[in-house]
Amino acid sequence: LLLRFILLIALCGTVACSAPQDARREVALEPCQLAGMVDAQCGSVTVPENRDEADGRTIDIHFAVVPAESSISEPDPVFMLAGGPGQAATEVYPLILGFFEELNQNRDIVLVDQRGTGQSNPLDCPELDELPLDSDEDSVSAALEACRQALAERADLTQYTTPIAMRDLDAVRQALGYGPINLIGVSYGSRAALNYMRQFPENVRTATLSAVTSPELILQLQAPADGQRALDLLFARCEMDAACSAAFPDFETTFMQVSEALAEGQAVTFEHPISGEQETVTLDEEGFMQGVFNLLYSPELVSLLPLMIQEIARTEAYGPLAAQLVAFVASLESYEGMFYAVTCSEDAALIDLDEAREAQEGSDFPLVADEFVARCEQWPTAQLPDAFRQPLNSDIPTLLLSGEADPITPPQYARQVAEGLSNSRLITLPEFGHDVLTVGCMPTAVTDFVNAGALADLDTACIEEISPPPFFVSPTGPRP
């Protein structure tokens, strides 16, 4: 089928092929505007919530098409799959489409809200959003249970797993009249893309996966060890960096002292970065370390971390750090109900707590698997395909992207995925954290790969020049 597809392009040309594609379209599109003033064409496809129930409930899968800029466009669009799980593609990807103007020049970009997100029967949890910032676990569990009960009245929570959602994605592809497509999946979106590649290999021309999640990765099980690896890399990087080591000669020691000072918990007052109001929360050592884990995702925030730690040690004021943590979490718009509907079946159900405690040994990051498993106890779990946790074997051209210092999806998982992909290439950016899709010239490399449909002649020399933001050595910035 791939050979027939290539011949179709070569024989009829893109202009001749575009009209039949429109003629094959089975769904009406309406003009819409996405975040960042991105103009698009929006629509929806109605699908069964449970495909095993012929007369059961249906849900609408919402999507947006950002049309190719050129009137002479390629027939194979780019489908971008969002992370989380719990993010909506139409909400998060418009903010980075500016990096892919060249890719969008000759190809449609399609953003599908995975079921449970955006406008695709969203599984949101306002009960969690209303909780105080420092709510205890009992309060969180009670709010989550109230959310589950409310969602269960309008959704079968066993029907929101990744393999089921990828059937929705293919329904959108068919309704829009596309043949093979190009996938871009980030973080959890890479899990989704790998599932689509497994279920519909004939419909994938290329795949680009950033912050790769392999079938071996079980969410929250390996996180403490992977986070510790990223933190150790930060300590080593600061020590090897002349400016950082001069400004913060005992960074690791100071960091541990700042963390241990919170053993009994402290009241921390700060200005909320969104509301501007004064907030007071109790910050303990576990909360501090979990917050640092989140900051390790971002190279920009990592560049500030040694300075923030030094200032805390000097002033004993944790407020600026707390504000950064709140701002970071607030930026991660997510549908929590969809997160638990997916992960309670795909991850929590596979966690052995003894194994989790063993994996956490030697890490300064807290054990999170126990709370995760406890939160999932009341959530229904779905039966997953036998192949779900098996390595994918495929010859689909696949570009794998990793940040060496990623705390949640380090390069080891991309290497595991690459073992089964005979036509793949892994690019790892040293000293970078989670998701490097838009870093430096990476968008150009991705665009060149998609345009060529092959890895053989992909020029990535420019990537060697990419470096992370330098460390701030004072409030005025990095050393000149």
Please, what's the b/e burial string for 37-68 (b: 16 or more CB within 10 A of its CB; e: otherwise)? ebebbbbbbebbbeeeeeeeeebebbbbbbbb
Per-residue pLDDT, 23: 47
Dihedrals phi, psi of 368, to nearest 5 degrees? -110, -10
Q: Give 382's DSSP letter.
A: -
Those residues whose C-beta lies under 8 Å from the C-beta of residue 110, and which sit 6 or more positions away, are 63, 64, 65, 66, 77, 78, 79, 80, 172, 176, 181
- The span from the CA of 107 to the CA of 129, in Å, is 38
Helix axes 353-360, 223-240, angle to 10 degrees: 10
- The span from the CA of 423 to the CA of 434, in Å, is 24
Q: Which two tokens stand for residue 414?
A: 């991309």
| Burial zone of 105 (CB within 10 Å; 0-12 exposed, 13-18 middle, 19+ buried) | middle
Per-residue pLDDT, 245: 96
Other Cβ atoms within 10 Å of 263 Cβ, number: 10
Cα 120 to Cα 63, 123, 152, 178, 199: the distances in Å are: 9, 9, 16, 21, 21
Residue length, the chain? 480
| Burial zone of 23 (CB within 10 Å; 0-12 exposed, 13-18 middle, 19+ buried) | exposed
- The span from the CA of 273 to the CA of 266, in Å, is 20
Per-residue pLDDT, 18: 37
Cβ(338)–Cβ(86) below 8 Å: yes
Cα 361 to Cα 185, 199, 220, 244, 409: the distances in Å are: 32, 37, 14, 29, 19
Per-residue pLDDT, 399: 98
Rg of the chain on CA atoms, in Å:
23
Per-residue pLDDT of the chain (480 residues; tens, 9 = 90+): 222 222 222 223 322 333 334 546 789 999 999 998 999 999 999 999 999 998 999 999 999 999 999 988 899 999 999 999 999 999 999 999 999 999 999 999 999 999 999 999 999 999 998 888 888 889 999 999 999 999 999 999 999 999 999 999 999 999 999 999 999 999 999 999 999 999 999 999 999 999 999 999 999 999 999 999 999 999 999 999 999 999 999 999 999 999 999 999 999 998 888 888 888 988 999 999 999 999 999 999 999 999 999 999 999 999 888 888 888 777 777 899 999 999 999 999 999 999 999 999 999 999 999 999 999 999 999 999 999 999 999 999 999 999 999 999 999 999 999 999 999 999 999 999 999 999 999 999 999 999 999 999 999 999 989 999 999 998 887 876
- The span from the CA of 36 to the CA of 45, in Å, is 25
Cα 74 to Cα 77, 127, 177, 381: the distances in Å are: 7, 45, 13, 41
Other Cβ atoms within 10 Å of 81 Cβ, number: 30
Cα 168 to Cα 61, 112, 118, 247, 323: the distances in Å are: 7, 9, 14, 53, 39
E strands, 49-178, in order: 58-66, 78-81, 109-112
- The span from the CA of 375 to the CA of 187, in Å, is 22
Cα 142 to Cα 145, 357, 377: the distances in Å are: 5, 25, 12
- The secondary element (H helix, E strand) that includes residue 4 is helix 2-24
Chain segment 290-323, per-residue pLDDT in tens: 999 999 999 999 999 999 999 999 999 998 888 8
- The secondary element (H helix, E strand) that includes residue 142 is helix 137-152
Helix (H, G, I), strand (E, B) or coil at 415: helix
Amino acid at 310: Q
